[in-house]
Every structure is written in C-alpha cells, then in structure tokens.
Amino acid sequence: MQKPMYVLSMPGVLCQRWILVCATLAMLVFASPGHAEAEASRNVVRFATTATQELTQDLLTITLQANKDGVVAADVQAGLKQLLESALADARKSAQANAMEVRTGYFSVQPRYNSAGRVNGWQGSAQLILEGTDIARITQTSGRLNQLNVVSVSYGLSRGLREQYESALTTQAIHRFKTRASQIAADFGLKGYDLGDVSVSSTEPGFEPRPYLMKAMSVRAGAADAPLPVEPGKGVLSVTVSGQVVLKP
C-alpha cells in the first residue's frame, strides 16, 4: 500500500511574509558592519608625501631685562617701573610694524631670604621684548638700551615668509601625492584611483639657534650703543600630505 504524502501549504499572505523575512535577513547579512568594513577596505592604499625647503630665519627676537634689589618691595617695584618706562619710550622711537615691534614681558618682585630663612629684602625683574624682521633696527635699538641687559636672543620664521613658502610646498606635496597614487595604481595593473581621507600639515623642525649672548654682553660693556652681534640660523620647512586612496579595478 502506498503511504500517504503530506504537503505543508501556507496561505498566500503567510507565504509572502515568509519571503519578505528571508529577504530582510539576507540584506542584514550583507549590510553587517563586518561586511561593510570588508568592502570599504578593498584596494585601499595609505601613504604620505613631503615637500621641503631650506630657509634662513628672518624673525629676530631679543629679550632685555632690568633687575633691581631693595629692602622695601614698593621701592623695588617703583624702580623697575621707572626703568621699564624709560626703556619702552626709547624703544618706541624706532618701532615700526613688522620691522620691529616692542612689547613688555615678565614683571616680578619676590622676597629675598637670608640663611635663616627670613626675608631680608626684595628682588625684582622686568622684561622688554624687541621682535621683527629688520635685523639692523632691532640690534641697534637693543644696543642703545644700556639700562637693560640682554637675557635671550632667538630666531624664527616670520608669518609672511612661512606663508609664502608653505603655499608652494603644499602644491608640490599634493602633486607628489597624486603622482605616487597614479604610479601605485599602474603598478598593480589597475585603471586609476579615488581619493579617500587626506590631510595636509606643515612643520618647522630642526632650526638651529644662534645664541650670541656672551659676545653681545662684552660688546655692551665696551661700547654702550654698539649694535648687538647676531647671526640667523637655517632650517627645513616641510609640508606633508598623508592619507589614503582607493584603487579602481
């Protein structure tokens, strides 16, 4: 005797719902984070290119300082204020935008202690800062301010010079990035590339300071109004383009 066959049947509505559930599950599988990340990371290459330029520093900063000691704190403060106001008035006569700018710096009055740890007086200091690109103007002014002592001499890049070279270096670095991306795609036998995340940054590393403080002080002692002897250093300004490209099959 032939065994009866049982066939499972569904109403039309239930069948449609079952198909919809299966399709949704399939979409979730392909849209899962792991699958999306795998698709996004295909043919992705990460690298960086850099353009550099050696530059002579053009921004000079000279810090001068007045020092004063006394028994009464108010007297020390008043003496420093008088020295600073006099030097500031003198320096402002030569000030010019960008060429030489004048500003005040550190101002402090602190107690002085004896061997027993008791206050036996007060000592203070006040600073005046000359900064700009006119080296002759700055060194001559600092030599003229003989009521103050030089405590710091440093060089850097002015904003104008930095921006001037950064623009050209950025163009070079981007060109090198695109050239390398095309070459990588060609080496893999692919047609080209699409840009991914890319960043552009600049650095100013390795500038060599030129401290001439001791020599400057000896000149100041011999000739009060003699220009301060200085010499700029050199360094490398660089612009780097880093990021990723997606190679096109």
The pLDDT score that the predictor gives to residue 203 is 82
Q: Are residues 249 and 170 in the same domain?
A: yes
pLDDT digits (tens, 9 = 90+) for 137-176: 999 999 999 889 999 998 888 888 888 899 999 999 999 9
Final residue in a domain of this structure, among 111, 139, 156: 156
Domain contains 229: yes
Indicate if 54 and 163 belong to the same structural domain. Answer: yes
Same domain, 120 and 187: no
Residues 168 and 198 in one domain: yes
The bridge status of strand 44-56 relative to strand 119-132 is unpaired
For position 233, what pLDDT does the model report?
79
Same-domain status, 150 and 165:
no
**Residue 233 included in any domain:** yes
Indicate which CATH number applies to the domain containing 88: 3.30.70.2970
246, 165: one domain:
yes
Spatial distance between the Cα atoms of 187 and 193, rounded to a whole number of angstroms: 12
Which residues, at least 6 apart from 249, have a Cβ–Cβ distance to it below 8 Å? 43, 190, 191
Q: What is the pLDDT of residues 176-204, one digit of tens each?
A: 999 999 999 999 999 999 999 999 998 86
pLDDT of 24: 57
Angle, to 10 degrees, between the axis of helix 73-92 and the axis of helix 135-144?
A: 140
Residues 171, 125 within the same domain: no
The answer to the question of residue 164 being in a domain is yes
Residue 20's pLDDT is 58
> Which pLDDT score, from 0 to 100, does residue 153 have?
92
| Mean pLDDT (whole number) for 66-91 | 95
Q: Contact, 237 vs 157, CB < 8 A?
A: yes
Residues 104-139: tens digit of each pLDDT: 999 999 999 999 889 999 999 999 999 999 999 999
Same domain, 152 and 169: no
How many distinct structural domains can be found in the chain?
A: 2
- The answer to whether residue 161 sits within a structural domain is yes
Please check whether residues 51 and 97 belong to one and the same domain: no
Please report whether residue 76 resides in a domain. Answer: yes
Domain hosting 180: range is 42-58+157-212+221-249
Ranges 85-94, 203-212, 233-242, most confident: 85-94
